Chain A
Amino acid sequence: MREGADAAHGGGRWYQTYVVVWVWLLAFTVIEVGAVALRLERALLVTLLLALSLMKAALIVAYFMHLRYERLNLIYLVLTPLILILVLFGGVIPDALNAFHLRPRP
């Protein structure tokens, strides 16, 4: 880790960033559970929850795992293979949606 991590804390205490990230993570979780309790429309709920999960994941990786303060080489090394996850879902989901048409009708 580079020295930037400490400089980023500014004038506050060294654990200030961790506390802020922690509060945000809990807030996002409360919003998630609340959105489910409110029984939002399905498409809206799915979009909202996926967006919130990705934001939580980004906060954890960037600040708790300190990736934000690493050299750009390492950031690329970690983030680029994640494209494979999209490829994985992109390959599986259309096939799953197609299964109904392939089944013999009763």
Chain B
Amino acid sequence: MAGEQERMTVSAWGGGESPFAVPWPKLMMWLFLLSDALTFAALLSGYAAMRLTAGGWPRQADFFNINFVVGPMTFILICSSATMAVAVGAARRGDRALVARFLGLTILGGLMFLGMQAFEWTSFIREGARLTGWVGNADGGPLPPMFPATFFVITGFHGGHVTSGVIYLIIKAIQATRGRFSAEMVEVAGLYWHFVDLVWVFIFTLLYLL
């Protein structure tokens, strides 16, 4: 049994074979997502350090509408991730009409998320938050400038990912309806979209809830 396993390992890494048993675009996407995960981890550890050194931190619920805006945003992004998963499954079955429909739903979810994030940013900026601190903060004492700084940088970086994801999916949806279509390319796009949802899980918890 051990000999058999050794033989298999040697042959898998011996060249002329794909040790990961995935097509290269998928492997490259995984590697990109790993580097991206570490970038987000760097941003979030920076956030943790700034929050710990700030001394005090405002209650997020005083600035953000968790129950009626941020919660539903999270809900929508999870739903768009689920529709993307169905699109990938449909692509694997070669059902191109279903792929186009579910890619459309995913794009719609992404756009709704972006719209709500824009609303959230607008109301936060109206309350005096800026990238480097606060303006016109009359009562309630000084607020830590790291609060808006980390918020804008991290949600902005994530929003940029959602925006490029929406563009990416629009291109894939157009290609799917025009015939330039492969199950693999939908799956690779799906990996990216799920990753964006995955990162939001942590941003939602760390920036808004804790």
Contacts and interface: CB of A to CB of B under 8 A. Distances in A.
B12 interface: yes
A8 interface: no
Interface residues of B, number: 48
A46 B210 contact: yes
Nearest to B21: A71
Given A15-B89, A78-B30, A60 B20 contact: no
Given A18-B85, A57-B202, A33 B52 contact: no
Contacts of B150: none
Contacts of B52: 93, 96-97, 99
B201 interface: yes
Interface string B36-66: 0110011001101110110100000000001
Interface in A34-87: 36-37, 45-46, 49-50, 52-53, 56-57, 60-61, 63-66, 70-71, 73-74, 77-78, 81-82, 84-85
B92 to A, nearest CB: 8
A32 B209 contact: yes
Given A60-B197, A60-B198, A82-B37, A89 B45 contact: yes
Contact of A85 (B12, B38, B46): B38
Contacts of B21: 2, 70-71, 73-74
A57 B210 contact: no
A31 to B, nearest CB: 11
B86 interface: yes
B53 A96 contact: yes
Which secondary structure dominates where chain A touches chain B? helix
A70 B22 contact: yes
Contacts of B22: 1, 70-71, 74
Contact of B20 (A74, A96, A99): A74
Interface stretch (B76-84, B122-130, B135-143, B160-168): B76-84
Contact of B34 (A53, A57, A81): A81
Interface stretch (B67-75, B109-117, B151-159, B173-181): B67-75
Contact of A64 (B53, B66, B74, B85): B85
16 contacts: A1-B92, A14-B89, A29-B71, A29-B204, A32-B204, A33-B66, A33-B67, A53-B201, A53-B205, A64-B197, A65-B191, A70-B22, A82-B37, A89-B41, A96-B50, A100-B53
Interface of A: 1-2, 14-15, 18-19, 21-22, 25-26, 29, 32-33, 36-37, 45-46, 49-50, 52-53, 56-57, 60-61, 63-66, 70-71, 73-74, 77-78, 81-82, 84-85, 88-89, 92-93, 95-97, 99-100
